[in-house]
Amino acid sequence: MGNLLVVGSVAFDSVRTPFGEVSNVLGGSATYFSTSASFFTDVNLIAVVGEDFPEEHLEFLRSRGINLEGLEHRPGKTFRWKGEYSYQLNEAQTLETHLNVLETFRPKIPDRYTTPSALFLGNIDPELQLDVLNKVTRPSIVACDTMNFWIEGKRDALWKVLESVDVLVINDGEARALGEDANLVQVAKRILSKGPKTLIIKRGEYGVLMFHQDGIFGAPAYPLETVKDPTGAGDTFAGGFMGYLSASGNYSEVGLRQAIIFGSVMASFNVEEFSLDRLKRLTREEIDSRYQSFKKLTHFEALS
Ligand code: AMP
């Protein structure tokens, strides 16, 4: 089993979708990511929370075996995000972002975290992503996520991060904003010329596209009867993807494709309920069973 290091946000989210509304529930890029990855590999978390972060949430993360030595507790309030989705659930509209303790956060890396087998720079200030990257022994795979907030606010720092990562995982709207083109193939060309060897574009209910030197791979999203809240789908996808890669150590084309399917399986569970409610009671058996359904969904025999 590998050890996967993640830096990102731990948050209180308030979310409205056409199917319900929740306030100040557990969220954050690193929370979704590490919970999802913990089904596959050992996870070391780097993040910050304020004095208002309850023991109950810490207990949950510990119960998933996530190492919290790098979760800093600081005076002040935990990061808060408020967003809403229309019936077109693919993209959140951010209503409020309160960085709070994230504003002055400088990641400290515990000694046992410094030689990760895989690193995920979750959605957080690109300067913090760079800081973490510079403080650890570079593993053979480094992946990164971001969002419009940082693409608009810290573009130069973000491009600097991208020079040093192997895989960028972002959604289609963000990819278009970053690549400054409406056409995703052109966007991929531009981004791949800047550093990352692989670009994974998440397209919500339309699935994902993986672009790299040797070609393009596409996977659909699993067709679900119930979708309540897409928040964290991207991070949950990335957690399954990186968790699987960290455990297998197989970064070949075949390995990456397999990891994409595990990421898609994890994301498909997450969107069924609000916050991390579905992930909290998810079992390994359910993951394996949906993986088998995914295999059937995407399989075809070539007749010629
Ligand atoms: P996703 O839906 O996978 O793109 O990620 C949703 C998570 O990102 C939410 O749980 C938020 O708490 C978190 N988030 C939203 N905005 C930011 C931001 N500017 N920096 C870090 N995390 C954020």
Question: For position 92, what pLDDT does the model report?
Answer: 87
- Per-residue tokens: 288: 């394996």
Ligand 1, from 6, 22, 29, 229: best to mutate by most atoms within 8 Å of Cβ?
29
What is the Å distance from ligand 1's center to 11 Cα?
A: 8
Mutate-to-test residue for ligand 1 from 6, 7, 9, 201, highest number of ligand atoms within 8 A of CB? 9
**C-alpha 29 – ligand 1 centre gap (Å):** 5
Residues with CB under 6 A from ligand 1: 9, 11, 13, 27-29, 81, 97, 123-124, 147, 149, 231-235
Model-level pTM greater than 0.75?
Answer: yes
Report in angstroms the alpha-carbon separations of 207 from 194, 195, 219, 274.
Answer: 24, 24, 6, 20
40 close to 244: Cβ distance less than 8 angstroms: yes
**pLDDT tens series, the chain, 304 aa:** 779 999 999 999 999 999 999 999 999 999 999 999 999 999 999 999 999 999 999 999 999 999 999 999 999 999 999 999 998 787 889 999 999 999 999 999 999 999 999 999 999 999 999 999 999 999 999 999 999 899 999 999 999 999 999 999 999 999 999 999 999 999 999 999 999 999 999 998 899 999 998 799 999 999 999 999 999 999 999 999 999 999 999 999 999 999 999 999 999 999 999 999 999 999 999 999 999 999 999 988 988 7
CA of 28 to the centre of ligand 1 (A): 5
CA distances from 184 to 204, 210, 220 (A): 15, 11, 16
Tell which one of 77, 81, 89 to mutate to probe ligand 1, the residue whose CB is within 8 A of the most ligand atoms: 81
pLDDT of the residue at 98: 97
Cα 289 to ligand 1 centroid, rounded to whole Å: 29
pLDDT at 91: 81
> Which residue's CA is the closest to the ligand 1 atom numbered 14?
28
How many residues does this entry show for the chain?
304
Probe target for ligand 1 pocket from 123, 146, 236, 269, with the most ligand atoms within 8 Å of CB: 123
| 171 CA: nearest ligand 1 atom | 4
pLDDT of residue 260: 96
Residue 189 Cα to ligand 1 middle (Å): 26
**Residues 23, 287: Cα–Cα separation, whole Å:** 28
Closest atom of ligand 1 to 83 CA is 15
Q: What is the pLDDT of residue 83?
A: 96
CB 291 within 8 A of CB 265: yes
- The pLDDT assigned to 87 comes to 86
- Ligand 1: atom nearest CA of 150 is 19
Cα(304)–Cα(283) distance, integer angstroms: 39
Sheet with 118-121, side-by-side order of all strands: 67-73, 42-49, 3-7, 118-121, 142-144, 167-171, 198-202, 208-212, 215-219
